Amino acid sequence: MIPIDFQYVAAQSVAEAIRQYHQFSTSDMSTRYYSGGTEIITLARLHQLTMDAVIDIKPIPAAQVCSIVEEKLFLGAALTLSQITSHPMMSRAFPLLQVAVNEIADRTARNKITLGGNLCGDIIYREAVLPLLVCDSMVRIAGPNGAKEESIHRIFRRTMQLKPGEFIVQIATDKIYRCAPFFHVKRRKMGKVGYPIVSAAAIRLQDNIHIALSGVCSFPFRSRTMEDWLNQKHLPVHQRIEEAIQIIPPELILNDYEASREYRRFVLRTVLEETLHQLGSA
Amino acid sequence: MTKHEVTLHINGEDRTLVIRHADTLLDVLRLQCGLTGAKPGCENGDCGACTVIVNQLPYKSCIMLAIEATGHTIMTIEGLKHSPIQRAFAKCYAFQCGYCTPGFIMNAHAMLLHDTSIDEPTIQEWLESNICRCTSYEEIASAIRMAMSTMNANLPDNSKPNSPST
Ligand SMILES: Cc1cc2nc3c(=O)[nH]c(=O)nc-3n(C[C@H](O)[C@H](O)[C@H](O)COP(=O)(O)OP(=O)(O)OC[C@H]3O[C@@H](n4cnc5c(N)ncnc54)[C@H](O)[C@@H]3O)c2cc1C
Ligand code: FES
Ligand code: FES
């Protein structure tokens, strides 16, 4: 049972969601946007999250789109991970994202977890952001001051940097990135469901590797300095990988019940090696 | 504590209920509707014991608010009668203590609603959503295969998975 009470409203449009947020705020009610709701429910049950109201953004048509306009793929933030994996267009339109989200949670949970919820959640892995980071996606945001489009690199710095009242409506990704040769790998402690020890999403573009990682630190990231080392093709693979790993401050590498710091570093090494081989950069 | 009247369409009937907006579907089904087939296990989205079908898709009812389900068609294990998957579970002894069984059956039934010619990796992918503490996994997978062949045998010839016209 959820031990707190909150009010639930479903917004039918972006404007209605913003209006509702404003209305709750002026009544001094703490408010959250609600998408799949799985994290809100589980954290609220454990007393780790409270709010006075939630605004469900699933009914908003703009948050449900999946379409290509002028080579840009637009994905609504309220699409469930299952909708993304099962959409007939996705295996051609953005296969890296399709493969990456298919590894998040399990088949039934993916019917509820949404793209926007995964990107904005408190749970540290946020694995759906990895393909967006390597593909330089754009994030379409709505808020009290209107709509805006921001680069994923500006708006996602360890976590999503949204201002009060703002929410993600869509993600836009260019063809040049989403159709590039790609590689995705997720290494767990055991089994085929669960959080990653290391997960990586990578593409090869103009002979350079772009790579983003989750599970290594307490936040997902893409590091240009790491990529620079990995792309130094005149150096032996072993050296490129060691130099790339050295970039991560050792104390930032997670050391927890899933895996020790040393084991994570070992797994990261094998993941980077596999990525370079798979993308023909070894 | 504010309560609101809502109508949920459960197992073919409209049920008018007075709930908190913060009530999960699992709690409402069990505590207000007396439908105790969906089981609380982890209540964290991990075990699948609470699985129900909403609009033909399986959902873990512990991570869904009851209010979200208004206007949708909800089916719990109590609404599933004489289905091939239920018979196959009994024939294959696909349970021991039975606690996980309603969740597995609802998930498997939803899978078979989608397709009756499912390959082995797809069966495994769907089954990973549920946990059986008694480890009846082999028998559960056998039950799914049995239900699938029963359903295919009952299809008209031209709509069987391997018929020339499909
Ligand atoms: C069984 C299970 C397994 C999981 N396994 C994994 C895994 O393997 N890898 C992984 O990365 N994650 C995993 N997760 C975590 C899950 O992806 C996150 O908890 C995610 O936040 C859930 O998405 P949701 O749509 O349900 O979010 P919600 O609960 O709706 O929202 C989560 C947070 O994001 C905010 N939010 C939601 N949508 C938006 C939006 N469009 N704009 C702005 N803010 C928004 C909400 O206000 C809230 O603070 C798992 C979760 C479960 C339940
Ligand atoms: S009780 Fe719902 S998934 Fe475990
Ligand atoms: S039969 Fe006991 S938990 Fe599955």
Paired residues of B65 in beta bridges: B24
* Number of domains chain A contains: 3
Predicted TM-score (pTM) of this structure: 0.96
Q: Where in chain B is the domain with CATH 1.10.150.120?
A: 84-156
Q: Are residues A192 and A258 in the same domain?
A: yes
Q: Does residue A2 fall inside a structural domain?
A: no
Q: Does A38 touch chain B (CB under 8 A)?
A: yes
- Residue pointed to by tokens 């990578």: A202
> How high is the pLDDT of residue B166?
40
Tell me what percent of the residues of chain B surpass a pLDDT of 70: 93
Check pocket membership of B131 for ligand 2, CB cut-off 6 A. Answer: no
CATH number (domain holding residue A212): 3.30.390.50
Taking only the tens place, the pLDDT of each residue in B4-46 is 999 999 999 999 999 999 999 999 999 999 999 999 999 999 9
* Domain B84-156, CATH number (from 3.40.50.300, 1.20.1260.10, 1.10.150.120, 1.10.3720.10): 1.10.150.120
pLDDT in 10s for each residue of chain A, 282 residues:
999 999 999 999 999 999 999 999 999 999 999 999 999 999 999 999 999 999 999 999 999 999 999 999 999 999 999 999 999 999 999 999 999 999 999 999 999 999 999 999 999 999 999 999 999 999 999 999 999 999 999 999 999 999 999 999 999 999 999 999 999 999 999 989 999 999 999 999 999 999 999 999 999 999 999 999 999 999 999 999 999 999 999 999 999 999 999 999 999 999 999 999 999 877
**Prediction ipTM score:** 0.94
Cβ–ligand 3 contact at B89 (below 6 Å)? no
* Type of residue at A53: A
Give A109's contacts in chain B (Cβ within 8 Å): 45, 60, 63, 129
Note the pLDDT of residue B163: 53
Structural domain contains residue A132: yes
* Paired tokens of A61: 């048509």
* A71 in a structural domain: yes
Per DSSP, which regions of B21-61 are E strands?
Answer: 51-54, 57-60
Q: Is A105 on the interface with B (CB under 8 A)?
A: yes
Q: What is d(CA A150, CA A142) in angstroms, rounded to the nearest whole number? A: 11
Name the β-bridge partners of A138: A151, A172
Q: Are residues A126 and A204 in the same domain?
A: no
User: Which atom number of ligand 2 is nearest to the Cα of residue B61?
Assistant: 2
- For residue A22, the enclosing domain spans 7-56
Pairing of strands A7-10, A53-56: parallel
Q: Find the closest chain A residue to B66 by CA distance.
A: A8
| Same-domain status, A111 and A162 | yes
End of a domain among A35, A56, A77? A56
Q: What is the DSSP letter of A154?
A: H
Whose tokens are 């789109």? That residue is A65
Q: Are residues A255 and A270 in the same domain?
A: yes
Chain B positions touching chain A (beta carbons under 8 Å): 1-2, 20-24, 27, 43-45, 48, 51, 57-60, 62-65, 67-68, 107, 124-126, 128-130
In short, whether B137's Cβ falls inside 6 Å of ligand 3 is: no
Looking at the fold, whether A153 and A251 belong to one and the same domain comes out as no
B3-79 is classed CATH 3.10.20.30: yes
